[in-house]
Structure 1
């Protein structure tokens, strides 16, 4: 394996860095509102965000680690697969990551909608409530949501009572609706899975846990930790606002693509 950087990896890094510079140089809120991936019910949602969110990052550390991982694992994968197949894995993993995370959100979204339906809100009223900015820093607070929704309820002539369960459901809908995804992590997890299938005995390690572990154990371990983090909310090695199921989705799609290509190793889909 030669050292250096391959063409697709280089251009992906350049695009990510340019997007990050644009975000930092211009109004961050404007850039995020245009290119981050918002939940489909959010007023800020735009179709192109399905792609552009893969090139957005939350801060210097976020982009630094992602671009380092893209260079480290993407270069050998592209060398082995070729540019076209590498990009197919990369973007397929990104879309898979998005679908997994949205699916995870919808698991909570539908029950909350069922509870809120008892209030008989019309679509405009519900949309305004779940689009309220109830954040205080990075936290969304129930007391802020309650305070800001009262004028809206009065505007629409709502005079009924809202139970604790119904308010909790409205809060959950607001949190889900205002969630935004950014980053190339899902794409990179797909590339990491591809790397692991090509090099199962390659030894990898976490920066803060410098113990070499074979890729065939390391990568499934990372995925399991992401699943546990998504279920429990307990973060092991990522910030608490990480879209854990996006990591899982990217890795699963990367694995499935590579498994299919290897399974069909006698035809044109052979990857080695």
Structure 2
């Protein structure tokens, strides 16, 4: 059997590498649970600022599996499917799962660091309502981990061409990742 051709008898799902497939499945299952009991799920598993009374240590991991709506999870999982499959196949499942969680944890650290700076500004300004809002608003989503997967793809294939749907522009992967970062900031 050729290296380039592998017969696939298990159907579509069997062609997805295991970590990517399981991350998508777990995210979808947790999203359904969130639809059923949103207040509990977001309040327990979303990432709160560390000095918030709602903060729990596990939230630095669990927030990566929470999503704020259908389009949020759809675009995150679509992006994970498109790029995660490729990155996982290249670096292997063990490295990919480690890479994914390191990216998600790094994003959580950046989020908390940004919130810390906001908190200091609110304290200096005596903005008690803003302080209360910051402490009671959770961060949810796999976006940090997903962006890490995009960066991984761009590092592996920097000149690979990618086309945006709107506006219809084709750029190399390295420039696409830089533009996405600029938009997010």
State TM-score, norm by structure 2: 0.88
1:114-133 → structure 2 map (5 Å cutoff)? 115=124
1:39 to 25, 49, 72: 49
Cα distance change, pair 208–88 in 1 and its aligned pair in 2 (3 A): same
Query: TM-score scaled by structure 1?
Result: 0.61
Residue number in structure 1 paired with 2:175: 217
Q: Distance in 2 between matches of 1:22 and 1:225?
A: 31
- The total of aligned residue pairs comes to 174
Cα-Cα RMSD? 1.6
Asked if residue 29 in structure 1 is aligned to residue 39 in structure 2, the reply is yes
1:108 to 111, 118, 136: 118
Q: Which runs of 4+ in 1 moved over 4 A?
A: none
For 1:185-200, list aligned pairs within 5 A. 185-200=143-158
The alignment status of 1:174 with 2:132, answered yes or no, reads: yes
Inter-partner Cα distance in structure 2 for 1:69 and 1:7: 16
Q: Give, in angstroms, the shift of residue 84 of structure 1.
A: 0.8
Aligned-partner Cα distance in 2 for 1:37–1:49:
5
Distance in 2 between residues matched to 1:7 and 1:23, nearest whole Å: 24
Q: Post-superposition shift, 1:35?
A: 0.8
Q: Which whole-Å CA distance do the structure 2 matches of 1:68 and 1:111 have between them?
A: 37
CA deviation vs aligned residue, 1:24-51 (integer Å, no higher than 9, x gap):
12x2111111111111122211111111
Select which of 130, 142, 147 maps to 1:184: 142
Q: Name the CA distance, whole Å, in 2 between partners of 1:211 and 1:111.
A: 39
Alignment of 1:59-98 (within 5 A): 59-98=69-108
- Partner SS, residue 57 of structure 1: coil
Gaps of 5+ in 1: 116-164, 228-272
Larger Rg: 1
Deviations 1:80-126 (CA, angstroms, capped at 9, x unpaired): 0000111111000000001111111111212433x3xxxxxxxxxxx
Distance 1:170 1:105 in 2: 15
* Structure 2 unmatched ranges of 5 or more: 6-11
Matched residues in 1 for 2:164 and 2:52: separation? 36
